[in-house]
Amino acid sequence: MEKIRLSKLMSQKGLCSRREADDYIERGWVFVDGERISQLGIKVFPTQEIKLARMAQAQQCDQITVLLHKPVGYVSGQPERGYKPAISLINRESQFQDNKTPSSFSPPNLKGMAPAGRLDIDSSGLLVFTQDGRIARKLIGAESEIEKEYLVRVEGALSQRTLDLLSYGLSLDGQALKRAAVVQQNKDQLRFILKEGRKRQIRRMCELVGLKVTGLKRVRIGKVRLGELPLGKWRYLRQGEEF
């Protein structure tokens, strides 16, 4: 059995992100088999026990995750010329107020906030921003199996063969796609459930079978649904909510 870099192993175990792991190690907040570790770059065996100090656990509890109902025309990540980043919608005026999420907005909430996944500029729906590396890895890590559900309006001829191909049998960029669940909702709407998120995946899948996407909305990520969140509004991930 080979040793592995401690920060990488902590990320693989879902304890935190690699960046957070390095920070915790430098602060002396990591213990391996009961021994405090404060040296970066150290390697350990995958079977060794890793624990975080209470200070690290408390810091993780303070990390914020936000759910945004992204409108069309906003980019998920870095700003693009002529378009605004979706994170610009996370402000006091656009916070969705209800009795389940009483926390009010504060500008420091945006520090270290990053999108956990993409949603194309011409798509709307649920977009997650988080400061928590554990959530980011769960949603977009290489081993993620989290389902994403979409409602998709299309133009073109629909048949059972088309649905079968969309569900399994297509490839993008020379790589086979994972099995998906694709069902027809009505004459021009499909419901997609995917466990991966390649760039413009659904639009490209539809093009391969002769369909044109005219509207795309993400309504669920894992166990968290868009629900009643209005377009352009955001809310905090509620206590007890998990992806």
Question: Which positions are annotated as active-site residues?
Answer: 120
Question: Quick one: tokens of 92?
Answer: 């006091």
Question: Quick one: tokens of 97?
Answer: 């107020």
In angstroms, the CA 16 to CA 136 distance is: 9
Strand pairing report for 4-5 and 234-236: unpaired
In angstroms, the CA 55 to CA 34 distance is: 16
10 Å CB burial of residue 10 (0-12, 13-18, 19+) is buried
Tell me which DSSP letter residue 148 carries. E
The three-state (H, E, C) secondary structure of 20-49, written as one string: HHHHHHHHCCEEECCEEECCCCCEECCCCC
Q: Which residues pair with 243 in a beta bridge?
A: none
Coil/strand/helix, residue 193: strand
Cα–Cα distances (Å) from 36 to 26, 49, 73, 102, in that order, read 11, 12, 48, 38
Phi and psi dihedrals of 185, rounded to 5? Answer: -90, -40
Picking from 240, 212, 214, 241, the residue whose alpha carbon sits closest to that of residue 226 is 241
In angstroms, the CA 36 to CA 48 distance is: 13
